[in-house]
Every structure is written in structure tokens, then in C-alpha cells.
């Protein structure tokens, strides 16, 4: 489906893109610091599911709709902004319920169901129109229509990007999980508030962004 040169170029570009910090990185770090490495890994599964959804949407032409329809772009943009702000407020308020300093929170990370973290992570990735437009601009450079099954090429490239992103997220999760356990007892409340503030800021930033 892909020649060696095309595949090598894509993998190199994908690695560089994954290493650039963004909302996804902030989400993984916040989840791992709040609930340990396992929670960060669960969040990574959700984000990479969103990556595959965006790749398939690009292959089916749905991303082109966002590129050409101002209304569709605005609707998705504001939905994503509201969701991020809601997450930020929820996280900020959870800081008020954090254990007092000195409590043994390092061995008892916040309990959140696997399905909840997964679904929130999928929504965090999907409700970002910039990601959809990125796929429309990036993946087509490595797709060759003459080889047929364009949608399958998009999905295969998305899967490769997803694997690279997942490996990166797992490493972040274990690093952030260690930091979270070490400092949870003394900074739990402020950690939640800072994390909540980050997501509120990301939501506001998304709300004022233009298609570009």
C-alpha cells in the first residue's frame, strides 16, 4: 500500500508532530498526575481512538466539510470549547474536596471508572476542529489515490500515528504518575486547581481561534 520512502517520511513526520506539546499532552499529564500511570494509559487509549476517528473521517471526506463550511467548523469549535471549560471547572471544583495536606493520598489515587476516563478522552480528542483540519492537511500528502482504497490508506496512516502517540502517552503517564504520587500529599488541592485552570484556558483559546 505504501512504498518504503513514503512510509519512512510519514513515520518521521508523525514522530515530530507527536512530540510537540498540545491539549492532548496536557490531558494525559493531568490524568496521570491525578490518578497514577494506569489512569494516564486509559486516557491515552481514548485519545488514540479519537485519532482513528479523525483519520477515518478524513478518508471519508468529512474533514473537508469542516474546511469548507464555516457553520460546521463553528459548531464543532464551540462544542469543544464548552467541553474543555466544563472539564476545567469540574477539575477545579474537585480541588475543594482534595484531602488535606499530610493525608496519604500517594497510595490512594482518585477513583474514576475506566469507561469514564476513556469516554472523556475520546471526546477531548474528537471535539477539536483543528485536529480534523490537521488530518485533512497532513495525511493526504502520503496518500496515493492511484493505489486504490483511499479511506483505507487514511486509516492505516492514522493507525500508525495512533501507535506512536500511544507510546509517547504511556511514557508521559508513567513519568507524571510518579511525580503525582510524590507530591500528592502536599499539593493535591493546588494541583487540581492548576489543572482545571489549564483546561479552562484551553477551552477559551479554542473558542476564539479562527480556521486559519
Q: Please give the residue range of the domain that contains residue 194.
A: 4-208
The structural domain count of the chain equals 1
CB 83 within 8 A of CB 199: no
Q: Mind listing the pLDDT tens digit for each residue in 165-185?
A: 999 999 999 988 877 666 554
CB 33 within 8 A of CB 209: no
pLDDT of residue 79 exceeding 60, the answer is yes
Question: pLDDT at position 46, please?
Answer: 94
When comparing pLDDT for 208 and 76, which is higher? 208
Rounded CA-CA distance 188/170 in Å is: 22
Question: pLDDT at position 183, please?
Answer: 56
Q: Mind listing the pLDDT tens digit for each residue in 89-124?
A: 877 776 555 444 444 443 344 456 778 889 989 988
CB 146 within 8 A of CB 14: no
CB 155 within 8 A of CB 135: no
Amino acid at each position: 500500500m505504501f512504498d518504503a520512502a513514503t512510509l519512512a517520511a510519514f513515520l518521521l513526520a508523525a514522530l515530530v508532530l507527536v512530540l510537540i506539546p498540545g491539549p492532548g499532552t496536557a490531558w494525559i499529564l493531568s490524568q496521570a498526575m491525578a490518578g497514577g500511570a494506569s489512569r494516564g494509559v486509559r486516557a491515552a487509549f481514548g485519545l488514540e481512538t479519537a485519532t482513528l476517528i479523525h483519520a477515518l473521517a478524513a478518508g471519508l471526506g468529512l474533514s473537508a466539510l469542516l474546511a469548507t463550511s464555516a457553520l460546521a467548523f463553528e459548531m464543532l469549535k464551540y462544542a469543544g470549547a464548552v467541553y474543555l471549560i466544563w472539564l476545567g471547572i469540574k477539575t477545579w471544583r474537585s480541588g475543594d474536596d482534595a484531602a488535606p495536606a499530610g493525608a496519604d493520598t500517594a497510595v490512594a489515587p482518585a477513583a474514576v471508572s475506566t469507561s469514564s476516563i476513556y469516554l472523556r478522552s475520546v471526546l477531548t480528542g474528537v471535539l477539536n476542529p483543528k485536529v480534523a483540519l490537521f488530518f485533512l492537511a497532513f495525511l493526504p500528502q502520503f496518500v496515493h489515490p492511484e493505489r486504490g482504497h483511499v479511506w483505507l490508506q487514511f486509516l492505516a496512516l492514522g493507525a500508525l500515528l495512533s501507535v506512536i502517540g500511544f507510546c509517547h502517552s504511556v511514557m508521559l503517564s508513567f513519568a507524571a504518575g510518579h511525580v503525582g504520587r510524590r507530591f500528592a500529599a502536599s499539593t493535591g488541592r493546588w494541583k487540581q486547581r492548576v489543572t482545571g485552570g489549564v483546561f479552562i484556558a484551553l477551552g477559551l483559546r479554542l473558542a476564539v481561534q479562527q480556521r486559519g
